Chain A
């Protein structure tokens, strides 16, 4: 029997539903637009166009004189150094917190339920980490700039606190998701908790822990640029002041350097994580 040719429908058979959905979405979007003062046409008013045009026009030629490039190189290094020092201090915060909060390392939990005291301690440490990491590093930096003054100290401390909380939480998750048999066997046979950690937990999840730390370092490089905007030094601060002086050439050069830096950190971190397996 020959197949009868059915011509395909000329229009979407479900067009009513699609149109209705689109209209409902627009109605829902209205209050969002009002709240965010979303008025794209203001971008194209002659005055605004003139200002943006002049700023964008000044991006070229790039600022490439020797003195400026030396400054950019110095500030770029400071940005990387701030991130590295911050992550190093974050480790100093995160490792003890992780050891305190890991459930696998509890001696009392070996025989059924964890005792009340250790449970409360672990819960308290967890909450501390939640608080540390839910305050964004930019806010920490804003606070520390008040206390220690402008400069990289505030940035390093901000990264250390936020990342300390973040690393501690994820380390805990990694350690608890791994195989706990070896550790349990060690603890049951009278090993100490530190021994249990060093010989049971650490070897099974060392690669994962290192790889996550490298990834966080990459994130820290990115956020240490942003911290410069509140006065923590580095590339961000120079970028901020160049923007405020409408110095387009310098802004463009620094943006390019920044993109290169991020790409480099990205590559380094990807390569390291691959090498670690």
Chain B
């Protein structure tokens, strides 16, 4: 005789543990974030009262009013044009130096042979990280001591920071090159420098160029403000005229900065669209 089958156990819905864990994580994250924000606002002696007062609004209005009209005399416009050219030249030369230096450092910083030890990889990567983690403006301020005021310090500062950035990107690009051609040359007994010149470099070149162009775009933007610490270009003019309360001239320089940045943005947008068409 067949046993009556036991009634099915009541279906328990398993606790959605992963969902609960995710929710707990999100709550913790939000709490930590709130604590950080509150602590930040609490510990800074922000002068909102002073900033949001009627008096401050009036001062701000007067300050902005002094900008008008911008100084558009041909003599001054010529000076601004020279400074703009200086800014562009700083960014271009700095980027080029950085591309060369970055490539030179990227070689020891990348693991190129399947069986090689590449024992220089870690120390050179440390150097690249150090170069990269100090911003251009700080480099410029440091270099003013040896290179003096002017665009030379700015160029070197851009070059140093960008070397750190490009060196790392280049090392990764070289490591990601398909190894076939290089191995074929090595098997023929070709010397390492020629393997680099005729196998690795041609393969990686488009990637290296695109990284360099991208950094150049960034560096034009960086070069406009570098001068504020005295390293040449439009920034130096801005700091100079603002320091002497030449507000009309300051307005012109600011306009030139905005125009330059907008132009670079526009060109890069157009170039990207053209390339990805």
Contacts and interface: CB of A to CB of B under 8 A. Distances in A.
A81 B44 contact: yes
Nearest to A244: B141
Contacts of A88: 37, 40-41
A156 B45 CA distance: 11
Given A51-B145, A78-B44, A263 B258 contact: no
Contacts of A82: 40, 44
Contacts of B221: 136
Contacts of A80: 40
Interface string A217-256: 0000011011001100000100110010010000100010
B177 interface: no
B224 A147 contact: no
B107 interface: no
Contact of B138 (A55, A151, A239): A239
A77 B43 contact: yes
Interface of B: 25, 29, 36-37, 39-41, 43-48, 50-51, 56, 59-60, 63, 85-86, 89-90, 92-93, 96, 129-130, 133-135, 137-138, 141-142, 145-148, 150-152, 154-155, 188, 190, 221, 224-225, 228-229, 232, 235, 238-239, 242, 254, 257-258, 261-262, 265
B133 A259 contact: yes
A84 interface: yes
A262 B133 contact: yes
Interface of A: 8, 29, 31-33, 35-39, 42-43, 48, 51-52, 55, 77-78, 80-82, 84-85, 88, 130-131, 134-136, 138-139, 142-143, 146-149, 151-153, 156-157, 222-223, 225-226, 229-230, 236, 239-240, 243, 246, 251, 255, 258-259, 262-263, 272, 275
Contacts of B148: 42, 48
Given A37-B152, A43-B147, A134-B265, A32 B89 contact: yes
A35 B85 CA distance: 7
Nearest to A144: B51
Contact of B40 (A35, A42, A81, A139): A81
A152 B45 contact: yes
Contacts of A38: 93, 152, 155
Contact of B44 (A29, A55, A146, A156): A156
Given A42-B147, A52-B145, A147-B59, A32 B37 contact: no
Nearest to B132: A262
Contacts of A225: 135, 138
A147 B60 contact: yes
A156 to B, nearest CB: 6
B46 A156 contact: yes
Nearest to A77: B43
Contacts of A259: 130, 133-134
7 contacts: A29-B93, A36-B90, A37-B152, A80-B40, A146-B242, A156-B46, A222-B135
Given A32-B89, A38-B155, A142-B228, A149 B47 contact: yes
Contacts of B40: 80-82, 84-85, 88
Contacts of B48: 153
A78 B43 contact: yes
